[in-house]
Amino acid sequence: MPLLPENPVLLYVTDPMCAWCYGFTPVVRRLQALWYGRLTVKVLVGGFRPYAHEPLTSEERDKLAVGWHRAQSKSQLPFDYHIFLQPELSYDTEPACRALLTVRHLRPALTLEVLRALHSSFYADGRDLSKTEVLVEVLRLFGISENLFLAVFETEEIFRQTEQEFQYVQGLGVDTLPTLFLDHPQGPRLISKGYCQLPELEERLLQAMSIPF
């Protein structure tokens, strides 16, 4: 039997405004709870629609709405569709991704929980995560003050690091969100591409870990 790593690291590539990620984050949280003390989850921002400043076309709106319906059907989570009534909807996910990266710097242990809260705020409550004041209110629930958050969130360095992470994820070949990798000295091993349920995810993880490190 090959020796398993003592504390394997899962790289969870996601976006706070990705519908399938909204459905998948509870699966990742359950996996982390079941493997408590034996597994570390590191959240990476993938950038679903970063820097999208132009309003969505009608075709893009329809495609997005269909994706939401499919994710809702699979995950059985609540979705608020009022966002599609906005006449000018750009759906820029960069600010929410940058906020999550900011949390990873300030309170790394809270990153996955903050991701869950951002998902719920956007999809269930219909709040606009492209607005800084909304991000501030969500993070305040976790004891992160506005001043502390903005001291990092608005710096050139965090803008640069967010863009670098988008590029790193792209370099991994990620073309679907969510995606999970098992970190490995020779390069990340793909675990899951897209949404799946917990039993399938655990089976894939165990298969990847059975390959000698």
Which structure tokens are listed for 135? Answer: 């991000």
Question: What pLDDT, in 10s, does the model give residues 87-101?
Answer: 888 999 999 999 999
Question: What pLDDT, in 10s, does the model give residues 59-68?
Answer: 999 999 999 9
Give the DSSP letter string of 51-120: T--SPPPHHHHHHHHHHHHHHHHHH------GGGG-SS-----HHHHHHHHHHHHH-GGGHHHHHHHHHI
Q: What is the pTM of this model?
A: 0.94
- Per the CATH hierarchy, to which homologous superfamily does domain 9-207 belong? Glutaredoxin (3.40.30.10)
Question: What pLDDT, in 10s, does the model give residues 7-28?
Answer: 889 999 999 999 999 999 999 9
Question: What pLDDT, in 10s, does the model give residues 137-156?
Answer: 999 999 999 999 999 999 99
CA count, 13 A, side-chain hemisphere, 190: 12
Average of pLDDT values for 152-164? 98
